Amino acid sequence: MRKSLVLLLIGLLCASLLVIAVRPSLAEQLVVLITIQSDGQIVPQNDYIKQEGNVYYLTQNLSQARLVINCSNVMFDGQGYTINGSNHFVLGGKGITLDNINNVTVRNVIVVGYYEPSVYIANCSGVTVSRVQTDAIPTIAVDVSGCIWLEQSSNNTISNCHTGIRLQSGSNNRICNNSLYIFTLSSGNFFLENNIDIHYASNGFKFPIIGEGSVNSWDNGSIGNYWSDYNGSGVYIIDESNVDHHPLTNPIDINAQSPTPIPTATPYLPPSDRNAPHLEPIYYLIPVSVVLAIIIATSIFYYRRYRKKTLIGINQMTFSSDAVYPHALLRSFFK
Can you give the pLDDT of all 335 residues of the chain as single tens digits?
555 555 555 655 555 555 444 443 333 445 688 999 999 999 999 999 999 999 999 999 998 889 999 999 999 999 999 999 876 544 447 999 999 999 999 999 999 988 889 999 999 999 999 999 999 888 766 678 899 999 999 999 999 999 999 999 999 999 999 999 999 999 999 999 999 998 877 667 788 889 999 999 999 999 999 999 999 999 999 999 999 999 999 999 987 444 433 333 344 344 433 333 333 344 345 555 666 767 777 777 666 666 666 656 555 554 444 444 444 444 444 44
317 and 200 within one domain: no
Task: Tell me the three state secondary structure of residue 224.
Answer: coil
Domain that holds residue 295: 2-8+279-333
Crossing angle of helices 281-315 and 326-333, in 10° steps, is 150
Of 88, 85, 86, nearest to 96 by C-alpha is: 85
In a domain, 210, yes or no: yes
Burial class (CB in 10 A: 0-12, 13-18, 19+), 184: buried
Task: State which of 224, 248, 273 marks the end of a domain.
Answer: 273
329 and 229 within one domain: no
Q: How far is CA 64 from CA 26, 91, 145, 268, 271, in A?
A: 11, 10, 17, 7, 16
β pairing state of 42-43 and 32-36? antiparallel
285 and 269 within one domain: no
Structural domains counted in the chain: 2
Spatial contact of 142 and 171, defined as CB atoms under 8 Å apart: no
In a domain, 286, yes or no: yes
Round to whole Å and give the CA distance between 15 and 9: 10
230 and 179 within one domain: yes
Of 248, 217, 250, nearest to 235 by C-alpha is: 248
In a domain, 26, yes or no: no
What pLDDT was estimated at residue 275? 33
In a domain, 166, yes or no: yes
121 and 100 within one domain: yes
What pLDDT was estimated at residue 317? 54
In a domain, 308, yes or no: yes
Round to whole Å and give the CA distance between 89 and 158: 25
